[in-house]
């Protein structure tokens, strides 16, 4: 049985292809930069506080991550309201990062409950950063995110073989190569394309 492809169907497909092309250019790197800086500050602060033997050295994490969650929620809501069309690319990114968040929470609960060591938890989180940015880079066709993801996977492996306290420095390194550098490159690409 053959289905008829109407003129309306053709226009819809063409429209979605155009929107997908535009979407590749619209990511300005905001979320990568926001989370990159928050995680970098939290990991370096945590490392420093451990070095000076501060009792609640973990404190930067909940404070900064909760703040980031609020800012991300507001920014995501505003972007959603602005969007005229939700493309397949948009939906893919949303599902990817929601899946990332759920997996991250499972890893954090496993580490906090003592089911896995802190160094293994850090390695898994770094590997998760790698997965998120690798897939995002593929969806956006943006090689710096892909390479950042690959580097994060390598950093995750190294993290398994170093003293626990230095795992936080590996988290910081991973976030620089997988979020911050690609985030600034995305912002630059966005700014260059918006002037065209």
Single out the residue of 169, 86, 101 nearest to residue 131, CA to CA.
101
Task: List C-alpha distances in Å: 191 to 20, 167, 173, 187.
Answer: 18, 35, 26, 6
Write the burial class of residue 70 (CB in 10 Å: 0-12 exposed, 13-18 middle, 19+ buried). exposed
Quote the tokens at residue 12: 């819809």
CA 133 to chain CA mean position, Å: 6
**What is residue 83's DSSP assignment?**
-
CB neighbours (10 Å) of residue 183? Answer: 27
Check: CB of residue 62 under 8 Å from CB of residue 72. no
d(CA 104, CA 101): 5
Single out the residue of 131, 137, 136 nearest to residue 155, CA to CA.
131
Which single residue is written with the structure tokens 């602005």?
82
Digit-coded pLDDT (tens) for 144-164: 999 999 999 999 999 999 999
How confident is the model at residue 10, as a pLDDT? 55
Digit-coded pLDDT (tens) for 46-73: 999 999 999 999 999 999 999 999 999 9
Residue 84 has pLDDT above 50, yes or no: yes
Digit-coded pLDDT (tens) for 96-140: 999 999 999 999 999 999 999 999 999 999 999 999 999 999 998
pTM of the model: 0.84
Q: What is the mean pLDDT of residues 6-24?
A: 57
CB neighbours (10 Å) of residue 58? Answer: 15
d(CA 159, CA 167): 6
Which carries the bigger pLDDT value, residue 10 or residue 130? 130
């Amino acid at each position: 049985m053959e289905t008829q492809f109407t003129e309306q169907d053709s226009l819809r497909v063409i429209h979605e292809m155009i929107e997908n092309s535009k979407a590749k250019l619209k990511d300005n790197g905001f979320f990568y930069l926001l989370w990159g800086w928050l995680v970098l500050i939290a990991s370096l602060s945590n490392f420093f506080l451990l070095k000076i033997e501060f009792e609640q050295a973990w404190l930067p994490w909940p404070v900064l991550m909760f703040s980031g969650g609020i800012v991300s929620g507001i920014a995501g809501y505003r972007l959603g309201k602005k969007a005229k069309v939700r493309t397949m690319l948009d939906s893919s990114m949303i599902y990817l990062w929601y899946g990332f968040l759920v997996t991250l929470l499972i890893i954090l609960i496993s580490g906090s409950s003592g089911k896995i060591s802190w160094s293994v938890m850090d390695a898994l989180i770094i590997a998760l950063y790698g997965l998120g940015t690798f897939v995002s880079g593929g969806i956006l066709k943006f090689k710096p995110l892909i390479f950042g993801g690959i580097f994060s996977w390598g950093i995750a492996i190294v993290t398994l073989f170093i003293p626990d306290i230095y795992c936080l420095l590996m988290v910081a390194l991973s976030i620089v190569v997988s979020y911050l550098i690609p985030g600034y490159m995305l912002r630059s690409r966005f700014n260059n394309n918006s002037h065209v």
